[in-house]
């Protein structure tokens, strides 16, 4: 670096030294590999930050604890996967924001110890005699990436943009943000991986002149598959739909190749270390056949038998193995398109992400589905990190600022009377968003309101997912129905949700940030949506009945209150008959027949209407006489 010096004073001219402190990095925190990138000021191009020697852009997301206070990350940690499986951690991203219950059925995929602690609903990982949260472990990975960038670029890095899958829920996004914070990074934004991939190709940036286009991002990595449909309009990114399979990737193809080899030699006794060897060879074979379109062959020793076997794979065999996997991914693509209510011809561009998309057959089949060539010029391993660097540059003010818009995957709302879900932010709302609704109290002098926040599409909160609960206290004593309580949901660009309750007359307020107790997998999310469709009719009936019950209860209480308060203006017969109607209405509630309840509501209403008018007239007459109103609540 050339440092300017004031030749008169001999001092450094600080202001002219490029402000390297302001480099904002983009980080792809991946399940298998992570990368860190920045915009190189020399050529203004997004660039992957390699190690000091210029090697290894990819940092395997592997962490090995040499003891309680020392650990190594990345390629250095990889050999310990086999020799020290209990202290070598991988696929940490799968555990972000998850409870033990969420991952229980996949627990066998982790060779390290995942703890189901009853008091802590989020998973912890035991290494030696210490417990770590996935956030702490991700923070160690992020710290290693930060240090790599600091060493290579010779500057302090304190700000970052981190990518997450489009389907990550609030808890998982928050967990990623917390991990960044713990690693000493100011996380300026969490962005979706497909959005980053589009940005890396310059789609939606200032230099891209198209005003509106729809793109599909097909991301097949080592362990997961995601497809996202995005619409980009004047630099605004909107996720129209996502689909995928969190347990489908290149690793599954490797396992299928091993299985193929094993079925070819049925007498082969396979032990654990033999299987591992076969897995490594299978990946080698897959890459070789993919890259060269010629047959792979390797002679391997089976030590127990002292014999040698030939592991071979030709292009046609690989094709047969690949086809069912590819078909599964194409089914996800079709589903995402149907969710977005689009046909393949309406998709303008298709971007390939993830190492497994190097396989030509995969590119060909995706291209056939969408009827157009796919974008695969950029390194599919690097494209997300490169896009994160582009976003970082936009945030640094170096490019036209653009809003990155997402949608809420599930509706958000609160519990109201009778356990009903009252939706405040409907599913598929564009974020950032603020939405609010007013509520009131049920009882006279009620000083607190319990606010329970739910996520989901069902009409009763018991069928949805509770995200949190809080009490708005200190509401000044007022008759029921008088306080105005505004409940607002604010979802920021990262998808972080804040719920605020304000009693508008007194200004009493309370706010929480929703951090769900445990995460929600994509399958569960789809399941919730499916359930809501399946139960749509019964849900509608249940809601209608519950609303009738709520209305009946409110009316019966009000009528009770009315005849006590205004006994002096009613005859004994009128009071007795009103009591009979109230009793009949309450009795009707046990029928569970909403039409019957409505009939009794109407009867009581018709019966009491003249009384209300009588009281009203009397109040007006009193007021006309300059006297004080009879009753505050009537005049309100």
**What are the residue numbers of the active site?**
28, 93, 193, 219
Phi, psi of 186 (to 5 degrees): -85, 105
Q: Distance between CA atoms of 465 and 532, rounded to whole angstroms?
A: 13
Note whether 32 binds ligand AMP by CB under 6 A.
Answer: yes
What is the secondary structure of 230-290 as a DSSP string?
Answer: EEEETTEEEEEEEEEETT-SHHHHHHHHHHHHHHHSTT----HHHHHHHHHHHHHHHHHHH
Residue 59 bridge partners (DSSP): 34
CA dist 467 and 449 (Å) reads 17
| Of the candidate residues 16, 22, 117, 291, the single one contacting ligand AMP (CB under 6 A) | 291
Under the criterion CB under 6 A, does residue 382 sit at the interface with ligand AMP? no
In whole angstroms, give the CA distance from residue 261 to residue 255: 10
Residues 6 or more apart whose Cβ sits within 8 Å of residue 10: none
Contact 246, 523 (CB under 8 A): yes
Residue of the chain from 359, 490, 542, 578 that contacts ligand AMP (CB under 6 A): 359
Instruction: State in angstroms the smallest separation of the CB of 96 from ligand AMP.
Output: 16
Taking the least distance from each CB to ligand AMP, the nearer of 275 and 303 is 275
Question: Applying CB under 6 A, which part among 308-316, 352-360, 462-470, 562-570 lies near ligand AMP?
Answer: 352-360
Burial string for 475-514 (b: 16+ CB within 10 Å, else e) reads: beebbbbbbebebbbbbeebbbbebbbbbeeeebebebeb
Please state the closest distance from residue 327 (CB atom) to ligand AMP, in A.
17
Site residue total, ligand AMP (CB under 6 A): 18
* Separation of alpha carbons 472 and 447, rounded Å: 8
User: Given candidates 244, 250, 387, 495, which one binds ligand AMP under the rule CB under 6 A?
Assistant: 250
Sign of CA dihedral 327, 329, 331, 334: negative
Which residue in 23, 33, 172, 421 binds ligand AMP (CB under 6 A)?
33
125 touches 103 (CB < 8 A): no
SS3 487: strand
Among 84, 106, 126, 287, interactor with ligand AMP by CB under 6 A: 287
Which among 148-156, 282-290, 579-587, 607-615 is the span making contact with ligand AMP, rule CB under 6 A? 282-290
Q: Per CB under 6 A, does 222 bind ligand AMP?
A: yes
Least spacing, CB of residue 189 vs ligand AMP, in Å: 22
| Per CB under 6 A, 381 contacts ligand AMP | yes
For residue 251, state whether it binds ligand AMP (rule: CB under 6 A): yes
- Residues 105-164 binding ligand AMP (CB under 6 A) are none
Nearer to ligand AMP, 33 or 47 (CB): 33
Q: Of 291 and 523, which CB lies nearer to ligand AMP in the complex structure?
A: 291
Least separation in angstroms between residue 355's CB and ligand AMP is 2
* Helix, strand or coil, per DSSP, at residue 502: strand
| Residue window 64-103: x/- pattern of binding to ligand AMP, with contact defined by CB under 6 A | ----------------------------------------
355 forms part of the interface with ligand AMP (CB under 6 A): yes
Q: Does 494 bind ligand AMP (CB under 6 A)?
A: no
Q: Give the whole-angstrom CA distance, residue 284 versus residue 280.
A: 6
Q: Which of 97, 354, 409, 483 touches ligand AMP (CB under 6 A)?
A: 354
Asked whether the beta carbons of 472 and 508 are under 8 A apart, the reply is yes
Phi, psi of 212 (to 5 degrees): -145, 130
Chain residues binding ligand AMP by CB under 6 A are 32-33, 221-222, 249-251, 283, 286-287, 290-291, 354-356, 358-359, 381
């Amino acid at each position: 670096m050339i440092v300017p010096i004031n030749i008169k004073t001999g001092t450094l001219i600080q202001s002219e030294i490029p402000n390297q402190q302001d480099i904002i990095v983009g980080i792809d925190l991946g399940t298998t590999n992570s990368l860190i990138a920045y915009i190189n000021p020399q050529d203004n191009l997004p660039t992957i930050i390699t190690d000091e020697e210029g090697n290894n852009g990819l940092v395997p997301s592997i962490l090995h604890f040499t003891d309680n206070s020392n650990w190594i990350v990345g390629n250095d940690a990889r050999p310990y996967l086999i020799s020290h499986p209990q202290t070598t951690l991988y696929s940490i991203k799968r555990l972000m924001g998850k409870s033990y219950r969420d991952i229980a059925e996949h627990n066998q995929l982790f060779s390290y110890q995942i703890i189901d602690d009853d008091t802590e609903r989020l998973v912890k990982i035991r290494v030696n005699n210490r417990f770590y949260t996935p956030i702490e472990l991700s923070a160690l990975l992020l710290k290693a990436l930060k240090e790599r960038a600091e060493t290579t670029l010779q500057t302090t890095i304190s700000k970052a943009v981190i990518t997450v899958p489009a389907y990550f829920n609030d808890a998982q996004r928050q967990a990623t943000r917390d991990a960044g914070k713990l690693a000493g990074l100011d996380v300026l934004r969490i962005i979706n991986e497909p959005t980053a991939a589009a940005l890396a190709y310059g789609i939606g940036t200032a230099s891209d002149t198209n005003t509106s286009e729809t793109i599909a991002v097909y991301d097949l990595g080592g362990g997961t598959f995601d497809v996202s449909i995005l619409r980009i309009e004047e630099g605004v990114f909107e996720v129209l739909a996502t689909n995928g399979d969190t347990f489908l990737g290149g690793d599954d193809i490797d396992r299928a190749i091993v299985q193929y080899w094993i079925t070819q030699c049925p007498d082969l006794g396979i032990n654990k270390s033999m299987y591992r060897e076969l897995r490594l060879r299978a990946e080698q074979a897959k890459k070789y056949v993919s890259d060269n379109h010629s047959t792979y062959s390797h002679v391997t020793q089976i030590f127990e038998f002292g014999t040698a076997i030939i592991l071979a794979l030709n292009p046609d065999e690989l094709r047969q193995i690949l086809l069912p996997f590819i078909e599964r991914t194409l089914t996800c693509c079709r589903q995402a398109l149907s969710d977005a209510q689009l046909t393949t011809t309406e998709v303008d561009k298709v971007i390939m992400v993830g190492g497994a998309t190097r396989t030509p057959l995969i590119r060909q089949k995706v291209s056939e589905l969408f009827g157009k060539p796919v974008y695969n010029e950029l390194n599919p391993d690097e494209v997300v990190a490169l896009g994160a660097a582009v976003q970082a540059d936009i945030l640094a003010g170096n490019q036209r600022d653009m809003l990155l818009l997402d949608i809420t995957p599930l509706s958000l709302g609160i519990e109201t009377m009778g356990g009903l879900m009252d939706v405040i932010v409907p599913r598929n709302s564009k974020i950032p968003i603020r939405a609010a609704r007013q509520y009131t109290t049920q009882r006279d002098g009620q000083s607190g309101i319990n606010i329970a926040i739910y996520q989901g599409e069902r009409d009763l909160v018991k069928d949805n997912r509770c995200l949190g609960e809080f009490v708005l206290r200190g509401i000044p004593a007022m008759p029921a129905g008088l306080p105005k309580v505004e409940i607002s949901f604010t979802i920021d660009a990262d998808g972080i949700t804040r719920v605020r309750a304000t009693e508008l007359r007194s200004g009493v307020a309370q706010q929480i940030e929703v951090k769900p107790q445990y995460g929600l997998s994509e399958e569960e999310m789809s399941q919730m949506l499916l359930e809501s469709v399946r139960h749509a009719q019964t849900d509608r009936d249940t809601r209608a009945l519950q609303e009738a019950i709520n209305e009946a209860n409110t009316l019966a209480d009000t009528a009770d209150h009315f005849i006590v308060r205004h006994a002096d203006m009613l005859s004994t017969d009128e009071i007795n008959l009103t009591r009979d109607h109230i009793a009949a209405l309450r009795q009707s509630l046990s029928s569970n027949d909403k039409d019957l309840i409505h009939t009794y509501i109407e009867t009581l209403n018709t019966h009491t209407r003249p009384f209300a008018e009588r009281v009203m007239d009397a109040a007006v007459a009193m007021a006309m006489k300059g006297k004080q109103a009879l009753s505050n609540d009537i005049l309100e």
